[in-house]
Amino acid sequence: METIEQMIQKKAYELGYEKCGIIPISLMEGYAERFQERLQKVPESRAFYQGQQRLVNPLEVYPWAKSVVVLTVPYGKYKIPEEVKGRIAKAYLFDVRIDRSTKEYQNNRALEKYMQKLGLKVETNEKFGVVGMRWAAMEAGVGIIRRNNFLYTESGSWVHLEAWITDREMELKETNNVPQCPKGCNRCMAACPTKSLSDPYTMLPTACISFLTTFGGRNLPQEPLRKSFGECIYGCDICQDACPMNRGKWKGKEEFPNLSGLAPELTPENILNMTEDFYVEKVQSKFFYLSPEELWKWKVDVLNYMRNNYVESYKPLIIKACNNKNEKIREMAKLICNELCLK
C-alpha cells in the first residue's frame, strides 16, 4: 500500500511537477546555522537578511509544523520574447506564483487541495515562501545549491521552487543526478558585474542588480554600481547565464500565457512612455516586486539602461524625462544628460 508521502509525490508528478521531496521540519535547523554564518561573513547584509527571519525559524510562526513538502517547476521550456531578452530576468517573465492564467498556478492550488483532502493541515506563502526553499530542496534531494547560490536540478537553475509546511511527520527523499560544480570553476563570480557574488556561496544582496532594480531600488541615481548594470532593467540572470551547468538547459519552445502580447509594451522606450493606468492594469500584477505606486522605479531603471546602452534615438526621451513630474526620474535624467553631455 502507498504511504501518504508516496501519494503526495505521485500526485505532484501527475500534475507535472518535476521533483517532489518531503523532509522533517528539524532538517531546517541547518538553514538557521548557515544563515548565522552568512551574517557573520557578510555583516553588511544584516539589514537585508533581517527581513528573512521568518524563514529561518518556521516553528516560531507555525508551532504545529512537522514536515516540509518541496517541489520544483521548470520554466526553461518557455520562449523569451526578443523585446525583453537580457533586460528582464527570466524568473520574473515566467513568474507563476500569483498568475492565475498559468497551468503552474492552477497545479499549485490543486496540490494544496489534494493534501488537505488527505487530512493534512498545510500552509504556503505563494509570493515569498514559508521556509528557506533552496535549503529545503537540497535537504530533500531535489537538487544541489551551486556556488552562485541557486538551486539546480537536471533542468539547470531555471526552476521555480514551491513549498508547504504540514502538520504530519513525513519524509520522502527525492533523487537527483546533478553533478557538483567543476573544480576551480568561478565563472559565475567572474561574470557578476557588481561583485555582489564575491566568493562561492557568498553574496552581498544589497549590491545585487536583482535587488537594486526591483524592491531594493530606492535611490538608483546615487547608486555608483548602476553604471555596471549592462542591459539589465529589472532583475539579473548574469551569474546563471554564465554557468556551464546551465548550458543547453533553456529549451524556449512554448509560449507563456499573455507574454507575447505584453512584451512589445516593455521595450525601454515604451516603459518610459508608459501611463500609470496601463502599468497598474497590465504590468504591476505580473512584476509584483514593485508596487502600483512604483512605475517611477521602472522608469529610473530604464533611464539607467539607456545610459549604459546609449544610442542617439534615446536622446529626446532622456531630455524629455528631465521635466518629468517625478523627482527621482528628473534626477536620473539630468544626471545622465551631464554624464553623456546631452543638450
Q: Which residues bind ligand SF4 (CB under 6 A)?
A: 146-148, 181-182, 185-188, 192, 194, 196-197, 203, 208-210, 236, 238-239, 242-245
**Pick 107 or 148: Cβ nearer ligand SF4:** 148
**Pick 194 or 284: Cβ nearer ligand SF4:** 194
To the nearest whole angstrom, how small is the minimum distance from the Cβ of residue 203 to ligand SF4? Answer: 5
To the nearest whole angstrom, how small is the minimum distance from the Cβ of residue 231 to ligand SF4? Answer: 12
Q: Which amino acid is at 195?
A: K
**Pick 79 or 147: Cβ nearer ligand SF4:** 147
Q: What is the DSSP letter of 78?
A: B
- Tell me the HSE value of 275 on the side-chain side, using a 13 A CA sphere: 3
- Give 3-state DSSP helix, strand, coil % of the chain, rounded to 5: 45, 10, 40
To the nearest whole angstrom, how small is the minimum distance from the Cβ of residue 205 to ligand SF4? Answer: 8
Residue 162: CB atoms within 10 Å: 26
**Pick 225 or 319: Cβ nearer ligand SF4:** 225
Q: Which of 326, 323, 320, 319 minimizes the C-alpha distance to 298? A: 326
**Pick 73 or 197: Cβ nearer ligand SF4:** 197
To the nearest whole angstrom, how small is the minimum distance from the Cβ of residue 209 to ligand SF4? Answer: 4
To the nearest whole angstrom, how small is the minimum distance from the Cβ of residue 229 to ligand SF4? Answer: 8
User: Cell numbers of 99, please?
Assistant: 498568475
Cα-based angle 232, 152, 231 (whole degrees, multiple of 5): 10
User: Are 23 and 70 within 8 A, CB to CB?
Assistant: yes
